[in-house]
Structure 1
């Protein structure tokens, strides 16, 4: 039987992840390390973490129903198909990655995701600075590549998607957020299905964390109206750097 302290740690981490994702993103920096510290192997921890944060994407996408309804159906279906294909490919790549190899690259993935999160606003401003026309034709290729990354490792996914859409000429921030949340949900669902078929998910932890992540998402939606976003972003960045350092030390 799992110690109460371990279950409490996972529940708190999942709740915190839900809050962070609702406000500024970065929930993976809490769920993934918490699972590893609870004794879950890194690959299983990554798969379980993906399921834990997945419900939040659905709620976020529903919040942008009007923006999605205004877009061409053909565009939405094409991008959902690309996201699904990339998510499956990334998940399968994770499942065939040797555990020792994945453990070695985890610190680098965390550091990369932290850097993406820290540079997110600058990337968005740069991407929206008139570079979109020349890169618009690469939108499908870029989306597929980002979806593969998201299926393999969820950290920093939202920042990559937002940067991609802004780079490709989408100037309406609400539309960017709508597409980001929709495609994050699609690729997360298919990757979680692949993880489940591959036996990589620790279900007793995943269901508990999904519940608390959803509750955290509701709480985060209210906090988002009260807390200054820079404070939350600072907390996420510091957490990412600390977790990266701890995993580097663990790998060493």
Structure 2
């Protein structure tokens, strides 16, 4: 790795950490940067998943005051870990082409869910009107789907988690974002363990990217707390749409 490659990875890590904390999708910055340094796609994807984990931890630290209290939050972690392992195994065991064609529509669909959150809530029911059991099943299902996606690809994981959780949680978007950060960190830790044991990680690149994601993740999480809910929602919707269209273009070219 030469000096220009290292500088590119540091800049990409800083930007990705910030974007992941605010809206999600920072992996679409670090993944192309890793490709640009000469890594093949699969090692780049695996290395990217390992590299962004410290940034997720920093995001949790920056948004910890907005995390809800109680056992319900921690009950989501086993589902997150199990779903992530399934996603990691899919990545290591199956061809990526078919999933690459599905991913853009998943991202665009998740973004649409967030954009039309209020009409959808009127259609499926507001979280406050659901029975505790139905609400628990809905939250666990959203987390499971997001975790499988995060283990397989990871890019736009934050967008998908925010969109799903905002639909089934009766709380502010800042608190939803804080929960997203915690679950993203759990996904990141699980992928780190699985790929460190079984994946083709380029550790030199990971060591360069990871510290930069820490600084960006903490700063981004602090920024979320200062943004009005409508501004934050607009940022996530716009960024999610851009990510989905970019992934669709890349899959079809």
Instruction: Provide the TM-score with structure 1 as the length reference.
Output: 0.79
| Larger RCO, structures 1/2 (Cα 8 Å, 6+ apart) | 2
Matching residue of 1:55: 54
The alignment status of 1:149 with 2:143, answered yes or no, reads: no
**How far is 1:219 from its partner?**
5.1
Pairwise CA RMSD = 3.1
2:70 to 69, 72, 84: 72
Give, in whole Å, the separation in 2 of the partners of 1:112 and 1:183: 22
**How far is 1:53 from its partner?**
1.7
Matching residue of 1:37: 36
**How far is 1:54 from its partner?**
1.4
What is the DSSP-based 3-state SS (H/G/I as helix, E as strand, rest coil) of the residue aligned with 1:155?
Answer: coil
**Residues 139 and 169 in structure 2, CA contact (< 8 A), matched pair in contact too:** no
1:1-252 mapped onto 2 (5 Å cutoff):
2-68=1-67, 70-73=68-71, 75-97=72-94, 101-103=95-97, 105-106=99-100, 108-109=102-103, 111-112=104-105, 115-116=108-109, 118-119=111-112, 121-129=114-122, 130-132=125-127, 133=130, 136=135, 137-218=137-218, 220=220, 234=238, 237-238=241-242, 241-242=245-246, 244-246=248-250, 248-249=252-253
Give, in whole Å, the separation in 2 of the partners of 1:3 and 1:93: 33
**How far is 1:208 from its partner?**
0.6
**Residues 60 and 178 in structure 2, CA contact (< 8 A), matched pair in contact too:** yes
Structure 1 spans left out of the alignment, 5+ residues:
none
Give, in whole Å, the separation in 1 of the partners of 2:205 and 2:16: 14
Change (3 A) 1:126 1:31: farther
Change (3 A) 1:159 1:219: closer
Change (3 A) 1:240 1:198: same
**How far is 1:174 from its partner?**
3.3
For 1:137-174, what per-residue CA distance to the aligned partner results, in whole angstroms no more than 9, with x for missing partners?
Answer: 33223322221111111122222222322332423333
Give, in whole Å, the separation in 2 of the partners of 1:160 and 1:236: 9
After alignment, is 235-244 or 36-45 more displaced? Answer: 235-244
Give, in whole Å, the separation in 2 of the partners of 1:233 and 1:161: 13
Change (3 A) 1:166 1:210: same
**Residues 90 and 151 in structure 1, CA contact (< 8 A), matched pair in contact too:** yes
Q: How many residues are paired up?
A: 241
Change (3 A) 1:247 1:142: closer
Structure 2 spans left out of the alignment, 5+ residues:
none
Give, in whole Å, the separation in 2 of the partners of 1:116 and 1:27: 18
